[in-house]
């Protein structure tokens, strides 16, 4: 049977999926290698094939993304007879101003993606490493790049530019927006079960270790909380979110920090982890009950509410708020905190539905729909790989 492999390479992780693509893509295996280069661990679910696997890996099995992929492939070949991928789909964080749809990876495309590494220094190099490792492992397979920025490439220019000299816009210094694969999936689901609602003014809140919000009209992105990099907007697990650029000047000029030190602080030591001094995991913070953990949660909720108000203003109102991502899909408490007191924007939460984690969690008389839709970036990648394979 024709198989597509999907790879989603993060800074220290590698998510993977295996899809049968003779018809609509059907997932037959999925998993994750985490803490690559540290104390690595693999989790995998083979469904009816061989159940679930979870074990620690040796340092050699996942010292980098290439060795992690080798370990994944060894596991897949053990469990799936005659594994042969006809296509490999890759999540690529940054597609720059040019790439607004999935592309077959050619040497030229790969070169352009490398050139975009300064736009996403902590993500793009790992995405490229995943592509290079897959090219070596499956030299005959069609390699497909799917871009997190692509979903936002048709935003109005006023939502796409910064107040900088015009030359910088031409150089690619723009508001790109990210989490596009997640937004594409959720908007597609919304169009399937609520097509009229999808045509309206919708905000999707992708809340997880990485977090952002996207405002849509008629299923298309018109405004996003993330900007030039995946650092902007909402506070995240270890990332600052929105911050005055003057803080950078202060740290460099007054504290003597290097740009690399500031970058690492903003990306790896801030957000929920930085404020709480405890963890980047919302579940840990909710259970901790310490003043610092409460402060981190309060700040996260405040920023979500503030950004939601701004997005609603940009859309001219709000017809639906949709939660997705690890926090959005699972934290009843955070959803409740975000929606509390938002009757001015038409939101009335049904506490029982929210606690039951139902799809629709708004009250009967709420003017604005509030939904929970689990996201699935891997199926979006698999669909793109199948489509480009068919046209190759």
What residues are labeled active site? 148
Q: How far is CA 211 from the centre of its chain?
A: 7
CB 218 within 8 A of CB 212: no
CB 21 within 8 A of CB 386: yes
Token pair recorded at residue 59: 């340092």
Separation between Cα atoms, residue 270 and residue 274, nearest integer Å: 4
How many helical (H) and strand (E) elements, i.e. helices and strands, does the chain have? 15, 13
Partners of residue 34 on adjacent β-strands: 13, 41
Residue 198 φ/ψ, nearest 5 degrees: -60, -25
| Coil vs helix vs strand at 321 | strand
CB 32 within 8 A of CB 14: yes
Separation between Cα atoms, residue 141 and residue 350, nearest integer Å: 49
Separation between Cα atoms, residue 363 and residue 354, nearest integer Å: 10
User: Which stretch of DSSP H or E encloses residue 147?
Assistant: strand 142-147
Q: Residues 371, 372, 377, 381: what is their CA dihedral angle, to the nearest 10 degrees?
A: -50
Token pair recorded at residue 245: 């650029």
Taking each helix axis as running N to C, give the angle between helix 124-137 and helix 65-79, from 0 to 180 degrees, rounded to the nearest 10: 50
Q: Would you mind telling me the total number of residues written for the chain in this entry?
A: 392
Token pair recorded at residue 52: 């679930």
Token pair recorded at residue 332: 């009843």
Exposed, middle or buried, 186 (CB in 10 Å: 0-12/13-18/19+)?
A: buried
């Amino acid at each position: 049977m024709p198989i597509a492999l999907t790879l989603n390479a993060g800074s220290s992780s590698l998510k993977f999926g295996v899809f049968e693509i003779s018809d609509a893509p059907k997932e037959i295996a999925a998993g994750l290698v985490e803490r690559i280069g540290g104390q690595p661990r693999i989790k995998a679910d083979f469904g009816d094939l061989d159940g679930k696997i979870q074990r620690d890996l040796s340092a050699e099995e996942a010292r980098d993304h290439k060795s992690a992929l080798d370990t994944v492939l060894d596991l897949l070949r053990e469990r799936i007879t005659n594994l042969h991928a006809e296509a490999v789909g890759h999540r690529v964080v940054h597609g720059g101003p040019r790439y607004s749809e999935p592309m077959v990876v050619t040497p030229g495309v790969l070169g352009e993606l490398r050139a975009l590494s300064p736009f996403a220094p902590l993500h793009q190099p790992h995405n490229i490493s995943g592509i290079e490792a897959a090219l070596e492992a499956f030299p005959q397979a069609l390699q497909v790049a799917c871009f997190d920025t692509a979903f936002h490439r048709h935003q109005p220019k006023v939502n796409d530019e910064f107040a900088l000299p015009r030359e910088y816009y031409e150089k690619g210094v723009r508001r790109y927006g990210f989490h596009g694969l997640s937004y594409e999936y959720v908007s597609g689901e919304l169009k399937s079960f609520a097509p009229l609602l999808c045509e309206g003014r919708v905000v999707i809140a992708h809340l997880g270790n990485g977090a952002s919000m996207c405002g849509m009209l008629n299923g298309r992105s018109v405004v996003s909380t993330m900007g030039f990099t995946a650092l902007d907007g909402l506070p995240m697990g270890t990332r600052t979110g929105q911050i005055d650029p003057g803080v950078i000047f202060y740290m460099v000029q007054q504290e003597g920090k290097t740009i690399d030190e500031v970058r690492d602080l903003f990306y790896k030591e801030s957000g929920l982890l930085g404020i709480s001094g405890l963890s980047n995991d919302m579940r840990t913070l909710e259970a901790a009950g310490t003043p610092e953990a409460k402060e981190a949660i309060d700040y996260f909720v405040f920023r979500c509410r503030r950004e939601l108000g701004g997005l609603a203003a940009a859309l001219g109102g709000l017809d639906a708020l949709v939660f997705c991502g690890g926090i959005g899909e699972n934290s009843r408490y955070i959803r409740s905190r975000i929606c509390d007191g938002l009757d001015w924007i038409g939101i009335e939460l049904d506490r029982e539905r929210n606690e039951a984690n139902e799809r629709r969690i708004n009250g009967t008389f709420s003017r604005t729909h509030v939904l929970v839709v689990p996201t699935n970036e891997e199926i979006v990648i698999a669909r793109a790989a199948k489509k480009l394979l068919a046209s190759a």
